[in-house]
Structure 1
Amino acid sequence: MSARMFELMNIFVEVAEQGSFARAADVLHLHRPAVTKAIQQLEDDLGTRLMHRTTRRISLTSEGEAFLQRAKMLLNDVDDVMASFSSTRPPRGRLRVDTPLSLAHAILIPALSAFQARYPDIEIELTSSDHRVDMVAEGIDCVIRMGELQDSSLVSRRLGEARLVTCAAPAYLDRCGEPKTPDDLAGHNAVMFFAGHSRTVMDWRFTQNGEARILRPARTMLVDNSDILLSCGLAGLGILQGIHAVLAPHLQAGRLVEVLGEYTTAAKPVSVLYPDRRYLAPKVRVFVDWLSELFAANGDRLQGLLLPEKQSTSRSTAP
């Protein structure tokens, strides 16, 4: 591929993202006619129309949408390669991160400004869900996941463990009473989480008489989103078990009340995963290192809500 084609692709991506030839020209420090000519040349070389143009706006054709995604991935890969072999060039480019909603709210988003200040040339594209993602198909650079991981070609680094808490809204406890032991849950309503496409229900874990116990209350409402899990608990629909770092503000404000505290001692591992490549893109490497620092250094500030763990690296995949 010629250097000129890379230049045309870069101009096309900027026009598409800015939604304007004029704004793209300003960002690229080019004259607008040069930008217009570049897009025309690219369409001629490809033999297809990439954009619909009117006097007021532009929009991408279906071919333009597909080309945009491939062009962005290619340009990012080129940028990563160049950065990997440059000792003076700071990490840069778009970093695509996927994380569970609960960790995004409680841990990652409050600290991201520090990462942006340290690496201003890295643009973060954050997606957040409670479902497993296909990193390769969706172009994700790294994912943060909770729970035990299975072996695969992905590389994982354990960040720490998230403490669990069992709780309910005061209105629910006034109506249904408070369970005193895990066995009492058989007579209670519960709001439980299930994992996306597999529909696997996440069991509740307790320690009783020195032994680990896994329970699944009989009367349950099932949800696949941690935000909805919290909303159901606050609405008094049943008892829930979740990450302490997420539920702590509601516990402190009295909107939720901890139950079975002497039995809820289990914790969920938290890991970051990324593809196994011959080289790790600098933007991914510095983000993974920063995550490890964040989890290790802020255990006290988070008041024990998150338990940092010694670093370890292995091949794994998210459940």
Structure 2
Amino acid sequence: MDRLKGVEYFKRIYELGSFTAAASEFQCSNAVISKYVRFLESWTGSKLINRNTRTISFTEEGERFYNYCVSITGQTNELLDAVAATDSLSGELVIASPVSLSIAVLGPLFIRFQKENPLLSIRLQMSDQLTDLVGSGVDVAIRGIEAPADSSLIATRLGALDRILVASPGYLRSAGVPTAIEELRSHQCLVYSLSSDANRWGFTPPCGSDEPVSVEVTGPLIADNSMILVEAAKEDLGIAMLPRAYIDAELRNGSLQQLRLDADPVPRSIYGMYSGRRYLPRRARRFIDFVKSSLEVTS
């Protein structure tokens, strides 16, 4: 049997936590996966997986063997990259990216990168929810955040994402125009639930101070997607804190107006994130460099 294939199978069984999920990913049967596991256990002379009809768990030897699998597959892929006869990128690049950020900012970059690398296939997983990179087979996750929190991931800053406060002319006529962040407490605010400052909006410290500034906000709509907040703000529902790049058209046509208070919203950075436990393919490294250079040009 093919030992390297067995190593690849075992690695994904561990990461997915399921024989069935691994079989689905490799487009083979559960019986094939089970056969390779028995082969690996015979090869190593150790029981690697405890399994019954419902669950699987990994023995101490299985945990060590997984680390070996990570090392072997990483070294193999790195060698294949190094000896590739062409500079062309090929294979499948799996990217996880938030819906709004993809549509408003990154979509054209995804398309241009694929057109410049016609042998490459891009599988884009658009979701505002955080993604399990290893379990879902994602090569690179892109996030617009203040700072990476997951220490198990390697993060590369790709660019800036400035945020501003906006509201519709209709809302401001009826509720008044705030001029200080403390006044936001008495206004209807539209909340992006997945932000680190969802109900407590963060602002840059005033001149001469290093202390962070924040204000608690409430309002009629809490959503996990920024685009619905744009529409809600246009319909006079309240004040929204949004990346400027999401609302360029609305600011130009006057359906939304920028509010200028006594402090500016804390900006977000766009990060490319990947697991340190997985080998990063050359196509993923090139993609990260491409997005970074493209955002630097446009910023």
Q: Normalising to structure 2: TM-score of the pair?
A: 0.70
Query: Take 1:293 and 1:193, find their aligned partners in 2: how far apart are those partners?
Result: 28
In structure 2, relative to structure 1, the CA distance for the partners of 1:123 and 1:278 (3 Å cut) is: closer
Query: What is aligned with 1:286?
Result: 286
Query: Take 1:288 and 1:84, find their aligned partners in 2: how far apart are those partners?
Result: 16
How far is 1:67 from its partner?
3.2
Say if 2:107 is the partner of 1:109: yes
Query: Take 2:271 and 2:205, find their aligned partners in 1: how far apart are those partners?
Result: 27
CA RMSD of aligned residues (A): 3.0
Query: What is aligned with 1:244?
Result: 244
Equivalent residues in 2 for 1:267-282, closer than 5 Å: 267-277=267-277, 279-282=279-282
How far is 1:277 from its partner?
4.5
Q: Is the 8 A contact 1:80 1:93 kept in 2?
A: no
Equivalent residues in 2 for 1:128-277, closer than 5 Å: 128-147=126-145, 148-195=147-194, 201=198, 203-207=200-204, 209-210=206-207, 211=209, 212-260=212-260, 263-277=263-277
How far is 1:66 from its partner?
6.5
Secondary structure (helix, strand or coil) at the match of 2:151 reads strand
Query: Take 1:209 and 1:278, find their aligned partners in 2: how far apart are those partners?
Result: 42
In structure 2, relative to structure 1, the CA distance for the partners of 1:208 and 1:82 (3 Å cut) is: closer
Query: What is aligned with 2:23?
Result: 67
Q: Is the 8 A contact 2:181 2:261 kept in 1?
A: no
Letter in 2 for 1:67: A
In structure 2, relative to structure 1, the CA distance for the partners of 1:227 and 1:218 (3 Å cut) is: closer
> Could you tell which deviates more after superposition, 138-147 or 112-121?
112-121
How far is 1:202 from its partner?
5.1
How far is 1:109 from its partner?
0.7
The runs of 5 or more residues in structure 1 that have no matched partner are: 7-62, 300-319
How far is 1:151 from its partner?
4.6
Query: Take 2:107 and 2:82, find their aligned partners in 1: how far apart are those partners?
Result: 31
In structure 2, relative to structure 1, the CA distance for the partners of 1:152 and 1:298 (3 Å cut) is: same
Query: Take 1:121 and 1:83, find their aligned partners in 2: how far apart are those partners?
Result: 17
Letter in 1 for 2:162: R
Equivalent residues in 2 for 1:28-39, closer than 5 Å: none
Percent of pairs identical after alignment? Answer: 26
Q: Is the 8 A contact 1:135 1:141 kept in 2?
A: yes
Query: Take 1:280 and 1:92, find their aligned partners in 2: how far apart are those partners?
Result: 14
Query: What is aligned with 1:100?
Result: 98
The runs of 5 or more residues in structure 2 that have no matched partner are: 7-18, 34-72
Query: Take 1:259 and 1:64, find their aligned partners in 2: how far apart are those partners?
Result: 53
> Which 4+ residue blocks in structure 1 deviate beyond 3 angstroms?
63-68, 77-83
Query: What is aligned with 2:119?
Result: 121
Deviation by residue 1:130-155 (Cα, 9 ceiling, x = unmatched): 11111111111110112211252211
In structure 2, relative to structure 1, the CA distance for the partners of 1:272 and 1:65 (3 Å cut) is: closer
How far is 1:2 from its partner?
5.0
Query: What is aligned with 1:30?
Result: none
Secondary structure (helix, strand or coil) at the match of 1:88 reads coil
Query: Take 2:115 and 2:96, find their aligned partners in 1: how far apart are those partners?
Result: 20
Query: Take 1:201 and 1:242, find their aligned partners in 2: how far apart are those partners?
Result: 12
Q: Is the 8 A contact 1:182 1:260 kept in 2?
A: no
Query: What is aligned with 2:81?
Result: 84
Number of aligned positions between the proteins: 237
In structure 2, relative to structure 1, the CA distance for the partners of 1:133 and 1:68 (3 Å cut) is: same
In structure 2, relative to structure 1, the CA distance for the partners of 1:259 and 1:87 (3 Å cut) is: same
Letter in 1 for 2:201: W
How far is 1:220 from its partner?
4.9
Secondary structure (helix, strand or coil) at the match of 2:288 reads helix
How far is 1:279 from its partner?
4.0
In structure 2, relative to structure 1, the CA distance for the partners of 1:266 and 1:120 (3 Å cut) is: same
